[in-house]
Structure 1
Amino acid sequence: MKNIFYLLFCALGMQTVMAQQTNEKFIIEEQYLKYLPEQYEDDLEKKWPLLIFLHGSGERGTDIEKVKVHGPPMLAEKGKQFPFIIISPQAKTGWDEDVLYQMITDFIAKNRVDTDRIYLTGLSLGGHGTWNLAQKHPEMFAAIAPICGWGNVEEAWKLRHMPVWCFHGGLDTVVPVSASEDMINALKPINPNVKFTIYPETYHDSWIQAYGDSKLYEWFLRQKKYTHKAIDLPLKTLKQYVGEYDFEMGNYKTKSMVTIENGNLIMKTGQRTTTLIPSSEDTFFIDKNQQTEFKFIKNEAGNVDKILLYYDELVTIPKSKE
């Protein structure tokens, strides 16, 4: 396919005069408040945890002072000392996860951030942004705390390794508590590190109690970014996964062969050979820092009949019928 496009381009080039190319720039501006711990300059080698705070709908616009009315930036403005860096961006209209990701990546490159301890939190619209950004980039964050927000239940599986502490007011009529309950109910069966706090007599301002509780910040600091950990599996266990599977992703269809080579489980798909590293008896990974996982699923008879591939999307790879 690549050669076809190349030949087509050459053919068109023979009939036209190439236009002059100029050097242009596209710059995305994103305002944010930055808080540095008092001791930040004491040790120029030390890296610090980073907390990202996403505000609610009332603080949108271009007046950065609005961001100081709630949450960690408000507390920092009043003199509270935090043991981590805090950045609090301002959305002009709504939260754009791609822009936020670029902003955070740029900030990390320019500051002494402990990339194993990056935390994300937000309230209302920012709670929604917290769920969305974490689902889009689970590899970036060590833990999240969405407050009175809402998320995409269909993609909750992307947070199966993410420590989550969710907060909501029981009397909230702006964003009903069911919005958080739906996310928590989707996560609990697949994620053992989920906490949910409902304030029974609180309306749409549950962030006051959540951010005013030092236990939230202590909980954040105990969390580190998830990485896969390899274990050893006996050959007998690996053998049950050997076989041919029907791999399909979008319009791409092919056969995948799972074999054992030198004591390792190997998947061959087209020209690609991948070593599957076990993290449990039925779950394998390819890189400890990537979210990608292969989970072998057994049928009622106890035989493996498919693989669940956790990638950018959740893909089922059935075992080929003999």
Structure 2
Amino acid sequence: MNKLLIALLVFLFFSCAKESDSVAKKRITDEVFVPTLKIDSTDLLGLPKDTGGIHKGYLLNETEAVYAHMIYTPGGYQESGEGYPLLIFLHGWGPRQLTNEIGTDLNVVKEHGPPALIEQKQWNPSFPFIVASPQLEGQYWASADVHSFIDYIIEKYNINTNRIYLTGLSLGGGGCWYYVGEKGEESHAAAIIPISARGEASIVSNLTNTPIWAFHGAKDQTVEPINNYGSVTMVNEINRNSPAVIAKVTVFDNAGHDAWTRTYGNQFGETGISYSPFNLNIYDWLLQYKKE
């Protein structure tokens, strides 16, 4: 009887060890390999393949838009039929409008982010986007103006209004936080990617219904990732408020304020182990979400 009991205990021990080992391996696998995407592409497959489109600038007062802006329409762009996903890119402090000359002003909008990738012929998301890059005239991205600008783009171009996404860096990342945080249910955004930016406690409750993936550099001394409602604090606060989609934050261990070059270029690699790994194309991540 004792021998049988001992044998049973040994069997249970090794069974549990195998199960624990399997769970551990699964966790490691989940962190290392790219997760499976769940993109409902039924409203994307009819769009012509983007083989290179037109990137054009419009001065302030040249259109009815509240901002001067760059607009990219993908190759084969069609003014009717299936609507296109729209990506709004909000720049940082530097490219704010100082004059009204396209040669000196709107070119600086193309120095970073998606407009830079477009100019460098490195723009190749899985599905075509219209990319609108407004130029700020003033000190901050006012939510009402951002909303008005998106309304203009919707009216002017063939936009899938369920697929409007915002991203921005530094000051522009703050514009993303505040646009959704202040507009709430009126926001056009189906998902946002704020980079190297801060928010504040008062806007957290309105951010729980919008999917968010924030990025930051651990060594950022311009906007700290944790203190003063930097990206880490914002995401933690949002997740404490039971969001519809768990917010993500990726922190690059060796990056300072410029966390955007790596993010927009989808340069995957090592990140802070306590935060979301960067193992997923950000444009595909956006396309997982639609605004109902």
User: Per-residue deviation at 1:137?
Assistant: 2.5
Give 1:3's aligned residue.
Answer: none
Identity %: 39
Give the Å deviation of 1:109. 1.3
The corresponding residue for 2:159 is 113
Provide the secondary structure at the position in 2 that maps to 1:186: helix
What residue ranges of structure 2 are gaps of 5+ in the alignment?
Answer: 1-63, 100-104, 267-279
Partners in 2 of 1:66 and 1:188 — Cα distance? Answer: 36
The reply to whether residue 186 of structure 1 matches residue 237 of structure 2 is yes
Deviations 1:281-303 (A, max 9, x none): xxxxxxxxxxxxxxxxxxxxxxx
- Indicate which of 247, 251, 255 corresponds to 1:198: 251
Opposite residue 200 of structure 1, the aligned amino acid is: D
Q: Which has the larger radius of gyration?
A: 1
| Native 8 Å contact 2:181 2:204 kept in 1 | yes
CA distance in 2, matches of 1:67, 1:52: 12
Number of equivalenced pairs: 199
Partner AA of 1:67 in structure 2:
V
Q: In structure 1, which of residues 32, 35, 44 is the aligned counterpart of residue 72 of structure 2? A: 35
Q: How much has 1:181 moved relative to structure 2?
A: 1.5
Distance 1:195 1:28 in 2: 32
Separation in 2, partners of 1:216, 1:171: 22
Matched position secondary structure for 2:281: helix
Match for residue 133 of structure 1 among 157, 175, 179:
179
Q: If each structure's strand is expressed as a fraction of its own residues, which one has the higher value?
A: 1
Greater relative contact order structure (CA < 8 Å, 6+ sep): 2
Question: Is the 2:66–2:148 contact (alpha carbons within 8 Å) kept by the matching residues of 1?
Answer: no
Alignment partner, residue 287 of structure 2: 221
| Distance apart, 1:136 and its partner CA | 2.1
1:204-235 per-residue CA deviation (whole Å, 9 max, x = no partner) reads: 1000111011710110111111x4xxxxxxxx
Query: Given the superposition, is the C-alpha separation of residues 111 and 28 from structure 1 closer, same or farther in structure 2, using an over 3 Å criterion?
Result: closer
Other-structure match for 1:210: 263
Residue 232 of structure 2 aligns to a residue in which SS? helix
Task: Tell me the equivalent position of 1:90.
Answer: 135
* Distance (Å, rounded) in 1 between the aligned partners of 2:201 and 2:76: 40
Deviation at 1:81, TM superposition (A): 3.5
Distance 1:84 1:111, change over 3 A: same
Is the 1:162–1:193 Cα contact (8 Å) retained in structure 2?
no
CA RMSD for the aligned pairs? Answer: 1.6
Divergent runs of 4+, >6 A: none
The aligned counterpart of 1:50 is 86
Are 2:109 and 1:67 equivalent residues in the alignment?
yes
Between structures 1 and 2, the one with greater helix share: 2
